[in-house]
A and B are shown apart, each in its own frame.
Chain A
Amino acid sequence: MSELYVKIMEIRPEIIMLIGACCCLMVGLHRSAEIRKLTVAVAVLTLVFAGFYNAWQTLDSDHPWTLASFTKMAVCVVGVLLLSFASGLPDKLKMSRDAESHPEKFDPGNVMRGEFYAFFLFSLTGVMLCGGANDLVWLFLALELTSLPTYVMVATGRDNIKANESGIKYFFLGALAAAIFLYGFALIYGATGVTNFDQIRECIAVTGVTPLFTLGIVLSIVGIGFKIAAFPMHFYTADVYEGAPTPVTAFLAFVPKTAGFVSLILVLTLTSKTNFRMGNPEELQIYISLPNTVQAVLWVMAALTMTIGNVMGLMQTNVKRILAYSSVAHSGYMLVGLLGISSCVAGVTSTNGAAGVMFYLIAYALGNMAAFAVLACLERNGDEATDLDDLAGLSARKPMLAALMLLANLSLIGLPPMVGFAGKIYMFSAAVNAGFVGLVIIAVVNSAISAVYYLRIVNACYFKKADASQTELVPTRNRVMVALAGAVLAVYLGLAGNELARITNQATIANLFNGKIVRQVLQDYPQAMGGEQTAWNIEKNNP
């Protein structure tokens, strides 16, 4: 069979998603109001079906988890939660309420429903495609497919001036960032003459890392930094997160970030080198290394991103802005984990920084989503209530919501037994093993600083008196369920995250190591540590 056929077989979940998105578009504009209401159901069904199909495809065959299948799975699972969070959002808008109010005068031009859910699915499809990318062009298209729908989704509340402003800002700055990483991709192509990842790797193995190639990688990293809201591309974060409707904000904090980190892992694998050395005790270890320049760039970005995120977070009184800066800070931590890729040792889970990042993405998504979902249950004058003062006295009015907020924040701080703690341990221990002790100290100090603003949220919920405020509680069932699911999973994975850690390790290992070199090493030293497993992974992933 041709390579194209194999590739198409692999992206069947994405194809399902695209078909589902198109269905959403059509159902959303159906003449009958009853059927229009089913749009959400179509979207959820699509996600669930794609998720099950992907799980079946991965578990049924002999294939181990790969970066692609893991990303797809994570997107489908978290996507369902995000979708239930966002469901009902377009129907609430004044404009679309007006358009829907008279059944006989249905005005398709002002209805958001179909587009919203379709864009939602399109964006998720983009992330899923990122995971399986093996070509620069593919990666670029996948990244843009992730981002373009989000520009529209941010501006969903078209009657809200703030949302419009956010949408415009996000679009322009996003375009600028896309230009930067596209330029980086162009330089990589210029340095090697090919766009296929395997071919680039082969080429670099021959020529060595050239300055032009390094510049290309650096530009790509910085440009993709926009998706993950890392320094110096973080400026938009607070404004956009604040302006977007809360469910969309929760979406922004997970979806582009996941796409960004998966792409970063893929870009870094282009420059990584598979080496081997004698470990202690007398065991041959296969490990990978990154060029110094790339490490330095990541180091600076990581340190500045988390520090700026946390320091700015301290200044805020708006919970959405606090969580926006917290999102920046968390990207910083994950960059630390990404640095843990260098000197990742085959067969040793605790040294795999990329797996740590994939783990932490889930951890962060759960805590973050729970926090946003609780926040979305508050309203002031029919508008979103987002100030710290709006949360005052929540524990007295809705103890359950306050408890969920507490759990979410504990996980975001990274306190045991929450999953945030497990994730941080996973990433930071990888970074320490790679020799970045100084950076990890900065990260830990930053975590301590971040506790201040997270606890400020908790403090508002538990210890502030409600001042006869106009804040109303509208705990819609789906939002409470999302918050509950997020918090419960955060506790569960914090206690029993071993399986997830194993899967993330398996998923990333094949991408990180160069199969040829691993096989060669194994031929000479069959007893090399973890090499067999790694080689098996690589074998199965490149049938």
Chain B
Amino acid sequence: MEIAKFIPWLPLLAAILSGICCMKRSLRDYASWIVLAAVAASFGLSLMAGSHITPESGAVTVHFFEWIHAGNFKADFSYYFDTLTIIMLYVVTGIGSLVVWYAGGYMAGDKGYARFFFAVGLFIFSMTSLVMGDNLLMLFLGWEGVGLCSYLLIGYYYEKPSAVAAGKKAFIVNRIGDLGFALGIFLTFKEFGSIQYAEIFSQTAHLNTESATTGMKIIPYLLMLGAFGKSAQIPLYVWLPDAMEGPTPVSALIHAATMVTAGVYMIARMMPVFLLSEHALTAVATVGATTALFAGLIALCQYDIKRVWAYSTVSQLGYMFLGVGVASSVGGVFHLFTHAFFKALLFLTAGSVMHAMTGQLDMRNMGGLRKKMPVTCWLMFIGCLALAGFPLTAGFFSKDLILGDAMAKGITDHNGWIQILAWSGIFTAFMTAYYTFRLWFRVFCGPEHYVMGDDHHGDDDHGHGDDHGHAHGSHDDHHHHAPHEMPFARMNLPLCFLAVGAIAGGFLCHHWMESMVNASSASTVNTAVEHVATAVEHATDHAGEVAVNAHADTGGEGHHASLFGMDVHKAVMIISIIAALAGIALAAYFHLLRRELADKAKQTYAGVCDLLENKFWIDELYDTAIVRPLKLMGDLFFVFDRLVINGIVALVGFIPRLLGITVRHSQTGVLQGYGLGMILGLACILLMVTWMLSSGF
């Protein structure tokens, strides 16, 4: 277990080596191999750690070194391994190695090749630190680290103004969330006297909603603000779609599979604290379901392939929040796990399309690519099935678990609101299926036509003859004329692994996931039992007691709640299968069979389409309501600073000069003068001393 503490440090070492590779042109191409080897080694170490940490073994803390000990504040570089950590490590290092593998081919020939892998290595370091830290400060450290890497990679093509702006936007929007997160950490220290998980959880074990202090009940609200920022939820989701300015592997790794799920991880990790507050989880669920619906609506009418996946990511993250919000950590984390596979797959295949079309992303400018890129086509098809929740794919299992748990909780708690959220989730599932296959049919089916993009990802993708060649040199001469398939070993093979995960990740991991998550701090089972214990004392009527019992069981095995006379989970499963199939069918009708109908519908509902195409005008709204007033205020402050503050500073700065001019005359350069000065000074001091002595001071 001791060796597991090196999981973050190997990628960091690789990042440093890549940094060195930046300096020398001939070394540049090694960067991807170094980082790939390190991340894969970390994955190996994670597997080893996973063999030690089982649902029965409990949590293990591995001490690395003392970091801060100040007063009673203690934060060490220690790593906390429980089953949740292991799941996250699998996702981060596993998906991470596949994406790095792919990126090695994708980024080939880019002039910032080593810089890219430097940032990716640093990202894996930060992300693994984030999930492994044994205290909130280390979580925060990793949190900010991944934020930094995200910023660096969004602005990777720094010659493009839009990329720079997107990087800044992501950074600033995240600051708002981080403010809440930081305050949450402070408050945690104030309330619990510690920021170490083990310490906090040992205290929460003896607390419930009634014995918790007000401060403790505020903590979840602050923490969730941070989670909403990092995981792109309403109202802080605006940065994620713009973040697609970065290279596509980054979109896949950071902005779909790993970093953006940090918020979900944090809430799952801090679940015992969230359970202390009556309404915090409901708030999380509400924001999650609303975001899922909202982003799904926007995704319906987007034409940019990566933006569709971006809004889809926001929407799927909303599902995860809905999951943890209805105390179904298993559902939330499970969806996080499966989503990582299929969304990374979707982004990377989108990247392949973009690569093949030299930067073209608008799906109106492409169609029928199935023949040109058969492997990519079917890989994306698998991803689409999983995202749409097609029965027996990975997304189907996890999404159903969330929706079923949400519905069950709504019914057993007699909570109408949560039932509404669950229904909205089911509606979102329908939309998801529609927009997913709308994209796939548009891009790969129908008559073959394409307009090549005018720029490349990276302006000299195929430019340097010496830099490139091993990746896809064979089609270099004709790539400007037609799309081409990607090289298999360098780019398509890692995608196959992802595809396997997207198909089989659901039914293979279903039970494993349940036992793993329930054995971690994210578990809601134990605490639910405690709720029963306390609630029974207060239960006066029979109905209340039944409800409470049912509630206690939702986290456990059987489900007594029923919908339409069926077990809730079964009913929801059937409904969402219908929704998914209906969505796919509708997409097939409009975008495969009768495309002219889709155009007609678009004309009929021009207003709605316009609204959705422009993303509800949210960016513009933020701009007028927040950004502009702030800028105006900044200008005012600038003027104030120039006139008033600067004036005062100039005045203060003048005083020492004045003093200097006065004292300067003592410095004549004449020896006698210096001697006199010394003696006079001594005399003054002696006068002072004698006066003090005589006055008995």
Residues of A within 8 A of B (CB): 168-169, 172-173, 176-177, 180, 211, 214-215, 218-219, 222, 226, 231-233, 235-236, 238-239, 292-293, 296-297, 300-301, 307-308, 310-312, 314-315, 449, 452
Contacts and interface: CB of A to CB of B under 8 A. Distances in A.
B678 A233 contact: yes
Given A172-B671, A232-B682, A312-B667, 19 more contacts: A172-B675, A173-B675, A176-B675, A176-B679, A215-B690, A218-B685, A218-B686, A219-B682, A226-B678, A231-B681, A232-B681, A233-B678, A235-B673, A292-B692, A292-B697, A293-B693, A297-B689, A314-B660, A449-B656
Given A173-B678, A233-B681, A310-B656, A211 B693 contact: yes
Interface string B659-690: 11101101101010111011111101110111
A169 B653 CA distance: 33
Contacts of B685: 218, 222, 232, 297, 300-301
Given A218-B685, A233-B678, A312 B693 contact: no
Nearest to A446: B656
B669 A239 contact: yes
B542 interface: no
Interface of B: 653, 656-657, 659-661, 663-664, 666-667, 669, 671, 673-675, 677-682, 684-686, 688-690, 692-693, 697
Contact of A293 (B678, B682, B689): B689
A214 B693 contact: yes
B656 A232 contact: no
Contact of B682 (A222, A235, A307): A222
A446 to B, nearest CB: 9
Contact of B671 (A169, A293, A449): A169
Contacts of A236: 674
Contacts of A310: 656
A296 B684 CA distance: 13
Contacts of B686: 215, 218-219
Contact of B656 (A173, A177, A314): A314
A308 B666 CA distance: 11
25 contacts: A169-B674, A173-B671, A173-B675, A176-B675, A214-B689, A215-B690, A219-B686, A232-B678, A232-B680, A232-B681, A235-B667, A235-B673, A235-B674, A235-B678, A236-B674, A293-B697, A296-B689, A296-B697, A297-B685, A297-B689, A300-B685, A310-B656, A311-B660, A312-B667, A449-B656
Nearest to B672: A172
B682 A315 contact: no
Contacts of B666: 235
A231 B666 CA distance: 12
A360 B17 CA distance: 36
**Across chains A and B, which 5 residue pairs bring their CB atoms closest together, nearest first?**
A232-B681, A235-B674, A311-B660, A315-B660, A311-B659
B558 to A, nearest CB: 55
B68 to A, nearest CB: 13
B172 to A, nearest CB: 26
Contacts of A292: 692, 697
A176 B689 contact: no
A452 B652 CA distance: 13
A290 B693 CA distance: 14
Contacts of A301: 685
Contacts of B697: 292-293, 296
Contacts of B661: 315
A384 to B, nearest CB: 19
B432 to A, nearest CB: 50
Contacts of B688: 296-297, 300
A346 B454 CA distance: 74
A236 B676 CA distance: 12
Nearest to B692: A293
Nearest to A173: B674
A311 B663 contact: yes
Contacts of B673: 235
B671 A312 contact: no
B660 A312 contact: yes
Nearest to B671: A169
Contacts of B660: 311-312, 314-315
Contacts of B678: 173, 176-177, 226, 232-233, 235
A173 B657 CA distance: 28
A218 B688 CA distance: 11
A173 B689 CA distance: 23
Contacts of A172: 671, 675
Contacts of B677: 232, 235
Contacts of A239: 669
Nearest to B670: A169
A215 B685 CA distance: 10
B290 to A, nearest CB: 45
Nearest to A180: B682
A219 B689 CA distance: 10
Identify which of A177, A219, A233, A235 gathers the most chain B CB atoms within 10 Å of its CB. Answer: A235
A310 B656 CA distance: 8
Contacts of A449: 656
B671 A168 contact: yes
Contacts of A226: 678
Contacts of A177: 678
Nearest to B683: A232
A315 B660 CA distance: 7
Contacts of A452: 653
Nearest to A231: B681
A311 B667 contact: no
A365 B661 CA distance: 29
A307 B655 CA distance: 12
A450 to B, nearest CB: 10
B692 A296 contact: yes
Nearest to B662: A311
Between B659, B664, B673, B681, the greatest number of chain A beta carbons within 10 A of the residue's beta carbon is seen for B681
Contacts of B659: 307, 311
A214 B663 CA distance: 30
Contacts of B680: 232
